[in-house]
């Protein structure tokens, strides 16, 4: 795999009873915001799940910074942060407890950066997670993923449920995160309008097949 790429997918295929993903090819250069766009049910989440080792692919290869996503799973996980509306941190009760728990897994955790993200995204450590709005829970997920400064940040529909102001806040933090050219953002969305002002590269998927990449 080229050292200039954060992610390379080649010939990826996964068949279900009523849907087949691929085979698809996809290339994400380092240091960019890549928008993975397609309608609901196009295969975006399936692709991300396979990237993260959640489910077995039928064919193809997935390499993250040159590493095979399964053979080098531990090394890959140490470089990839993940944000999804499905992530649930309610069991920790309050925002601060969730942060302390997740922080313990990452030696690279940056307390100062975490505090800045909390301030910029209007979150407080004493807030009860169960009382957070859907948009605020997305923001918390983003704080937990960004604060340890992963080399690749994977976001599955991160703008779902966000109002225009919250979207602006989230995208501002993502742009800041890739500004040094050392971090890469891979973001799926069913709406091109959310990404067109922010993404450097776009891949479009429909019915399990890539239509366009560039």
Share in percent of the chain as helix, strand, coil (round to 5)? 35, 30, 40
Mean pLDDT value across the chain:
89
Calculate the alpha carbon distances from 1 to 63, 115, 149 in Å: 7, 36, 23
Q: How many residues does the chain have?
A: 214
pLDDT in tens, 166-177: 888 878 877 787
Cα–Cα distance for residue pair 13/23, rounded to 1 Å: 5
The torsion angles phi and psi of 35, rounded to 5 degrees, stand at -95, 120
Calculate the alpha carbon distances from 79 to 49, 55, 119, 146, 182 in Å: 16, 19, 25, 11, 12
pLDDT in tens, 60-84: 999 999 999 999 998 998 999 998 8
- Predicted local distance difference test score (pLDDT) of residue 173: 79
Contacts of 144 (CB under 8 A, 6+ apart): 89, 98, 99, 102
Residue 1 predicted with pLDDT over 60: no
Interval 122-140 mean pLDDT: 90
Question: Strand, coil or helix: what is 39?
Answer: coil
């Amino acid at each position: 795999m080229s050292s200039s790429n954060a992610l390379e997918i080649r010939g990826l295929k996964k068949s279900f009873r009523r849907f087949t993903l691929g085979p698809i090819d996809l290339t994400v250069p380092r240091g960019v915001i890549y928008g993975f766009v397609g309608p609901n049910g196009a295969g975006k989440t399936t692709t991300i799940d396979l990237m993260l080792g959640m489910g077995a692919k039928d064919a193809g290869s997935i390499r993250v910074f040159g590493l095979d996503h399964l053979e080098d799973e531990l090394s890959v996980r140490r470089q990839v942060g993940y944000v999804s509306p499905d992530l649930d941190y309610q069991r920790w009760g309050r925002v601060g407890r969730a942060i302390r728990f997740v922080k313990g897994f990452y030696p690279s955790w940056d307390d100062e950066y975490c505090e800045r993200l909390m301030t910029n995204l209007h979150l407080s450590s004493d807030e009860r997670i169960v009382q957070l709005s859907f948009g605020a829970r997305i923001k918390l997920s983003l704080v937990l993923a960004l604060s340890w400064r992963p080399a690749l940040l994977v976001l599955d529909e991160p703008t779902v449920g966000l109002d225009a102001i919250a979207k602006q806040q989230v995208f501002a933090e993502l742009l800041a995160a890739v500004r040094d050219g050392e971090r890469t953002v891979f973001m799926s969305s069913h709406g091109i309008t959310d990404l067109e002002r922010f993404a450097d590269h776009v891949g479009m998927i429909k019915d399990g097949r890539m239509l366009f990449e560039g």
